[in-house]
Amino acid sequence: MKNVLIIGASGGIGSALQNAYNKNPLYELVNTLTRSRDNFDITNESNVTRNLEKEISIYDVIIVATGGVKINNDDPEKTIKRLNSDAMLKQFSLNALGPALVLKHIHKLIPKNRPCHVIVLSARVGSITDNHLGGWISYRTAKAALNQILRTSAIEIKRTHPNACLLAVHPGTVDTEMTKNYTTHPRVSSQKAANDIINLTKTLDAQDSGKFFDWAGKIIPW
């Protein structure tokens, strides 16, 4: 039997992941950490440390499903002329620093001698190579920073956990509150996005660790 930890399970994708894993007979323990139920604040180091140090289980899958495009009342900038330093710092705090604080503790939460997966939800707009439109500077750069954090963490974790697979994943344009005002692309349901993420844990392994994939398992260039 396997264990899974979902961080950010009150969001659209996170709650869909929780529902899917609860229905999966292979998973005995489905634990979650959320702001609404656990007062978990991924941007607060002492809060993250306190919550993760209480964990006594070893997890086969850990998914960091936190993040946001609009924080408070700050919409994504359409041009660098609209850059606001406070808004940019909030983007980095939520979308880059938060997952980094989780990854800081990951070596204590995953098995050393068997395969496991750690997934952080990134976004295609965090790809430097794929940026042809400009705009959304704060969100883009925060996700690009997250990708570097994941890549670096994967290199370090491999030294002590050679079977671990750490992935940055773009889940697609998902039909959630976060995306409804910011895209004209076709959107998929949270449940489909959750199933796609779970499928990645079945098809990708330690050889793929430290890479950036989309929901279909295709590599996204950094």
Q: What is the CATH number of the domain that holds 109?
A: 3.40.50.720
Cβ(212)–Cβ(222) below 8 Å: yes
| Contacts made by residues 206-210, CB under 8 angstroms, sequence distance 24+ | 206/115, 206/158, 206/162, 206/163, 206/164, 206/165, 208/165, 208/167, 209/154, 209/157, 209/158, 209/164, 209/165, 209/166, 209/167, 210/150, 210/151, 210/154, 210/155, 210/158, 210/166
DSSP lists the bridge partners of residue 121 as: 169
Report whether pLDDT(178) > 80: no
pTM recorded for the entire structure: 0.94
Report the distance separating Cα 40 and Cα 34, nearest Å: 5
Report whether pLDDT(19) > 90: yes
| pLDDT tens, residue by residue, 118-140 | 999 999 999 999 989 999 999 99
Number of domains, the chain: 1
DSSP lists the bridge partners of residue 29 as: 3
| Within-domain flag for 93 | yes
Q: Among all chains, which residue has been given the structure tokens 């370090």?
A: 156
| Within-domain flag for 220 | no
| Within-domain flag for 86 | yes
Instruction: Give the confidence band of 96 by pLDDT, cuts at 50, 70, 90.
Output: very high
| Within-domain flag for 222 | no
Report the distance separating Cα 67 and Cα 65, nearest Å: 7
Q: Is 37 helix (H, G, I), strand (E, B) or coil?
A: helix
Cβ(12)–Cβ(6) below 8 Å: no
| Within-domain flag for 76 | yes
| Within-domain flag for 197 | yes
| Within-domain flag for 221 | no
| pLDDT tens, residue by residue, 65-75 | 999 998 988 89
The boundaries of the domain holding residue 32 are 2-214
Give the pair of three-digit tokens for residue 121: 């939800």
| Within-domain flag for 158 | yes
